[in-house]
Amino acid sequence: MAAKKWVKYPHETFDFSGAKLSKAWPKLHAGDQEPLPDKKHLTALAKRYPKLEIDAASASEGLLDAWRAFHAGEFQKATEAADALGVIGAVVAIKAEGIYATYLAKEADKLAHFERCAKRAEAAIAAMPEDANAHYFHAFALGRYSQCISVTKALAQGLGGKIKQSLDKAIALAPKHAEAHTALGLYHSEIIDKIGSLVGGLTYGAKADTGMKHFQEALKLTPNAPVAHLEYANGLRMLYGKKRQADIDKALATASEIEPLDAMETLDRQRARDLM
């Protein structure tokens, strides 16, 4: 991890101390379907992947604390605490550093953040191949990395296929993974936006209708998640532009009015407000 201090989360803070986190967990993780890392889950994980040599009690405590920091907006603390746990902390580390890089990091620092996230995801996939979020956050990291270098450059480097493969695997393992559906919607939208529907369709299988279906599925699964509406608006803009301006405005307005559950949702809501 980079030693320098990260930019501080600038909005309202959230308290998930004690049992508050487990109580709020189903709503907090409706989008990514991440299981609550309690002792029961970690015990099952240890049996499934014995090479990880997990101490269920201590691992559970460490993961819960890392997630508390993430949801409160303490992204550097969450990332460093998760990294200290090894590969089982990869998901929270990627989400914490990835959300930080998306919204708060300086432009010059973003690429390095997403590169670290991608490396964590690759290690997690190797160690826990049936973990849906290992695959999803691999796609997330590569997708954000691609946006940093330009989508056309990323496609030329073969990243498009890797992103699609990881998202398809995530949804196969967790069909109700709303964030993966949103990401697939963006996959189709960004390819068509950057290289056109004809080439995008022939080369990468990108289709506007398919992208819209994934956005709609995410909205159906998580109607109260600001990011689902925010990225739906982005998809509409890339695919249809001013022809769907009324729908874009409506989606952004919805995202901007939802009461956030944690720091990430606060940042998602703020981005929607900035785009209005």
pTM of the shown model: 0.95
Report the pLDDT value the prediction gives residue 116, as an integer from 0 to 100. 97
Question: 180-276 has which fold?
Answer: 1.25.40
Q: Label residue 224 by pLDDT band (50, 70, 90).
A: very high
Find, among 195, 129, 218, 196, the residue nearest to 166 by Cα.
129
Q: What is the pLDDT of residues 142-187, one digit of tens each?
A: 999 999 998 889 988 999 999 999 999 999 999 999 999 999 999 9
**Other CB atoms closer than 10 Å to residue 246's CB: what's the count?**
10
Q: Do domains 12-175 and 180-276 have the same CATH topology?
A: yes
Interatomic CA distance for residues 17 and 21, integer angstroms: 7
Residue with tokens 């819209």: 212
Q: Label residue 2 by pLDDT band (50, 70, 90).
A: very low
State the average pLDDT over residues 101-127.
Answer: 97
CA dist list (Å): 273 to 128, 257, 260, 261, 269: 38, 9, 13, 17, 6
**Cβ contact 75:6 at 8 Å:** yes
What CATH architecture does domain 12-175 belong to? Alpha Horseshoe (1.25)
The mean pLDDT of the chain is 96
State the average pLDDT over residues 72-96.
Answer: 98
Residue ranges of domains in the chain: 12-175, 180-276
Q: What are phi and psi of 132, to 5 degrees?
A: -60, -40
**Other CB atoms closer than 10 Å to residue 144's CB: what's the count?**
19
Quote the DSSP letter at residue 245.
H
Q: What are phi and psi of 29, to 5 degrees?
A: -115, 25
Report the pLDDT value the prediction gives residue 1, as an integer from 0 to 100. 43
Pick from 79-93, 112-126, 143-157, 175-189: least confident: 143-157
Dihedral sign (CA 75, 80, 85, 91):
positive
Interatomic CA distance for residues 189 and 75, integer angstroms: 29
